[in-house]
Amino acid sequence: MIQPVAELAAMVDRDSCLVHSDATQAVGKIPLDMARLEIDALSFSAHKLRGPQGVGALIVNRKPKNVLISGGYQESKRRGGTENVAGIVGLGKTAQVARLEMEQKKHHLEQLRDVFENRLASIQGSVVFGQQAPRLPNTTYFALPYYHGETLLMELDRAGFALSSGSACHSAVTAPSHVLTAMGVEDSLALNAIRVSFGMENSMEDVEMLIMKLQELVTSLPAVIRQAAV
Question: What is the model's pLDDT at position 224?
Answer: 45
Shared-domain flag, residues 92 and 107: no
Looking at residue 49, its amino acid is: L
- What angle separates helix 149-158 from helix 204-219, to the nearest 10 degrees? 120
**Number of neighbouring beta carbons within 10 Å of residue 158:** 9
Shared-domain flag, residues 208 and 110: yes
Last residue of a domain, one of 96, 121, 151: 96
Q: Which domain holds residue 118?
A: 102-228
Shared-domain flag, residues 196 and 131: yes
Last residue of a domain, one of 53, 75, 96: 96
Give residue-wise pLDDT tens across range 35-77: 899 999 999 999 999 999 999 999 988 877 777 777 777 777 7
Last residue of a domain, one of 32, 66, 96: 96
Q: How much is the average pLDDT of 138-158?
A: 91
Q: How much is the average pLDDT of 96-103?
A: 94
Shared-domain flag, residues 32 and 124: no
Shared-domain flag, residues 147 and 188: yes
Give residue-wise pLDDT tens across range 9-21: 999 998 888 999 9
Shared-domain flag, residues 186 and 136: yes
CATH code of residue 86: 3.40.640.10
Q: Are 163 and 192 in contact (CB under 8 A)?
A: no
Q: How much is the average pLDDT of 125-129?
A: 93
Shared-domain flag, residues 223 and 113: yes
Shared-domain flag, residues 73 and 19: yes
Shared-domain flag, residues 79 and 130: no
Q: How much is the average pLDDT of 93-119?
A: 95
> CA separation (Å) from 228 to 14, 124, 146, 214, 221?
53, 11, 8, 18, 11
How many domains, the chain? 2
Q: Catalytic positions, please? A: 169
CATH code of residue 217: 3.90.1150.10
Shared-domain flag, residues 163 and 55: no
